[in-house]
């Protein structure tokens, strides 16, 4: 704050803040100068008038706002407060100067902000209100007139419950009481109010609570929209749905009557069709029995023919694969011991003449040669490679070679399974 002391408008003292306020480097530059020299021309008459009135002993304001003038010629808003001092019959004036630039800027910004807020509030379709904790309206936006027919000043000081039917007022008063008791917001709740003209209006409101610095609820700020058209549309839709349902019921009853007649006709027809189906079924069953008998007879005849052919093939295969090679070997035997062994094999092989084992070994899946079949039969009888070699007049190495081929063809070349056990298992499966 700048401070100066003057007599008859001439500065006798100024503090450093006063010098900086008016753009001077040192307070001494102000001493001996006129106070009016630091007042803008547009404010000098105002200051002169105050000085003259005080000089004449008339009442004059001791504080006022003027436009100050700096050393460089720029102006600024200035607040001046004057105290008169009696100094031995020579009155002195002590002035206090405050730069109002920032305050004026803040006031202007606040004014602009308020104007923008008012424009925004007045431009939206919803009605804005501020109510205290008892529901009493403290502010209402102009849009309240469009919704309820009241001017804002007619609503301020009243509660929304004053403008409702009794039942609706009691319901909403309880809702507001619970919410304000907990400091909770109110979200999109619908209710009915009375227009100034007396007609019923349906509104939807959302309200947000606000609190003071100590956390105490101060009131609610709300936004309200008219949902009468929406409610009327919903009511019209409900009536249309009821009318449609009534028509559907009537039509359903008509269809039910027609369906009952149709069902009777269908039942009579079904009885006739059922009789015809029973007779047709009896005929079909007789034909099926005859066909089944024919199929059975044909199957028996075909099976007998297949069995005969299979038996012939097995006997022929076993004789060609088992007996003939052994008979040839018998003719080539030189010693009695060899002939005896060969005869024993022939005798045991006779039991296999009708067996499918040899045929199985010649099957496409194994592809064993006649020599391999003979060796396989000897292995099944428990003969060793040396005994088989002596009987078939082959070397032991040849027999081992054929044994390895048999294992490979039977899928045993990488397994430790006994060849004789595997061959015996094949004969059991057969």
Tokens of 87: 């100094």
- Give the 3-state secondary structure of residue 85: strand
Task: Tell me the average pLDDT across 401-417.
Answer: 84
Tens digits of residue pLDDT in 3-18: 999 888 889 999 999 9
Beta partners for residue 91, in sequence order: 86
- The helix (H) or strand (E) run that includes residue 210 is strand 200-211
- Give the 3-state secondary structure of residue 11: strand
Q: What CATH number should be reported for the domain whose range is 124-226?
A: 3.30.450.20
Q: What is the pLDDT of residue 136?
A: 93
Which of these, 178, 227, 233, lies nearest to 201 by C-alpha position? Answer: 227
The Cβ of residue 297 has, within 10 Å, a number of other Cβ atoms equal to 10
Three-state secondary structure along 240-285?
A: HHHHHHHHHHHHHHHHHHHHHHHHHHHHHHHHHHHHHHHHHHHHHH
Tens digits of residue pLDDT in 266-303: 888 888 888 888 888 888 888 888 888 888 878 877 77
Q: Which residue has the tokens 């007396």?
A: 198
Q: What is the pLDDT of residue 164?
A: 92
Tell me if 391 sits within 8 A of 383, measured CB to CB. Answer: yes
Stronger pLDDT, 48 or 300, i.e. the higher one: 48
- Give the 3-state secondary structure of residue 125: coil
For residue 333, pLDDT over 80 is answered with: no
Cα–Cα dist 318/355, whole Å: 8
For residue 322, pLDDT over 70 is answered with: no
Tell me if 163 sits within 8 A of 194, measured CB to CB. Answer: yes
Beta partners for residue 224, in sequence order: 127, 205
Cα–Cα dist 64/100, whole Å: 12
- Tell me which long-range contacts 351-354 makes (C-beta under 8 A, separation of at least 24): 352/318, 352/322, 352/377, 353/315, 353/318, 353/319, 353/322, 353/323, 354/311, 354/314, 354/315, 354/318
Share of residues in the chain with pLDDT > 70 (%) = 82
Q: Which CATH architecture has domain 2-106?
A: 2-Layer Sandwich (3.30)
């Amino acid at each position: 704050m700048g401070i100066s002391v003057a007599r008859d408008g001439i500065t006798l003292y100024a503090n450093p803040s006063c010098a900086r306020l008016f753009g001077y480097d040192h307070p001494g530059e102000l001493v001996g100068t006129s106070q009016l020299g630091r007042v803008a021309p547009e404010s000098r008459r105002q200051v002169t008038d105050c000085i003259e009135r005080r000089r004449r002993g008339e009442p004059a304001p001791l504080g006022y706002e003027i436009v100050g003038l700096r050393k460089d010629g720029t102006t600024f808003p200035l607040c001046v407060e004057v105290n008169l001092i009696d100094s031995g019959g020579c009155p002195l004036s002590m002035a206090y100067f405050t730069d109002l630039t920032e305050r004026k800027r803040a006031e202007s910004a606040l004014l602009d902000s308020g104007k923008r807020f008012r424009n925004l509030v007045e431009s939206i379709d919803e009605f804005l209100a501020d109510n205290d904790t008892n529901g009493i309206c403290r502010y209402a936006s102009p849009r309240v007139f469009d919704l309820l027919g009241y001017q804002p000043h007619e609503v301020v000081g009243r509660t929304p419950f004053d403008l409702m039917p009794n039942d609706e007022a009691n319901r909403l008063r309880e809702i507001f009481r619970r919410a304000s008791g907990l400091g909770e917001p109110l979200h999109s709740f619908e209710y009915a109010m009375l227009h100034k003209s007396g007609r019923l209006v349906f509104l939807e409101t959302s309200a947000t609570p606000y609190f003071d610095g100590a956390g105490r609820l101060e009131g609610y700020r709300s936004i309200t929209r008219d949902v009468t058209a929406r409610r009327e549309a919903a009511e019209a839709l409900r009536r249309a749905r009821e009318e449609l349902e009534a028509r559907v019921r009537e039509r359903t009853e008509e269809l039910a009557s027609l369906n009952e007649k149709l069902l009777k006709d269908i039942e009579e027809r079904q009885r006739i069709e059922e009789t015809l189906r029973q007779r047709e079924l009896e005929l079909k069953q007789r034909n099926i029995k005859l066909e089944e008998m024919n199929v059975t007879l044909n199957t028996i005849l075909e099976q007998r023919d297949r069995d005969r052919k299979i038996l012939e093939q097995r006997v022929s295969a076993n004789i060609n694969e088992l007996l003939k090679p052994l008979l040839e070997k018998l003719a080539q035997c030189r010693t009695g011991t060899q002939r005896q062994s060969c005869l024993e094999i022939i005798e045991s092989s006779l039991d296999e003449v009708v067996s499918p084992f040899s045929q199985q070994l010649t099957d496409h899946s194994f592809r064993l040669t006649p020599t391999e079949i003979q060796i396989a039969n000897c292995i099944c009888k428990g003969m060793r490679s040396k005994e088989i070699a002596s009987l078939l007049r082959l070397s032991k190495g040849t027999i081992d070679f054929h044994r390895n081929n048999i294992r490979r063809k039977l899928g045993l070349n990488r397994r430790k399974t006994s060849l004789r056990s595997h061959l015996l298992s094949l004969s059991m499966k057969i």
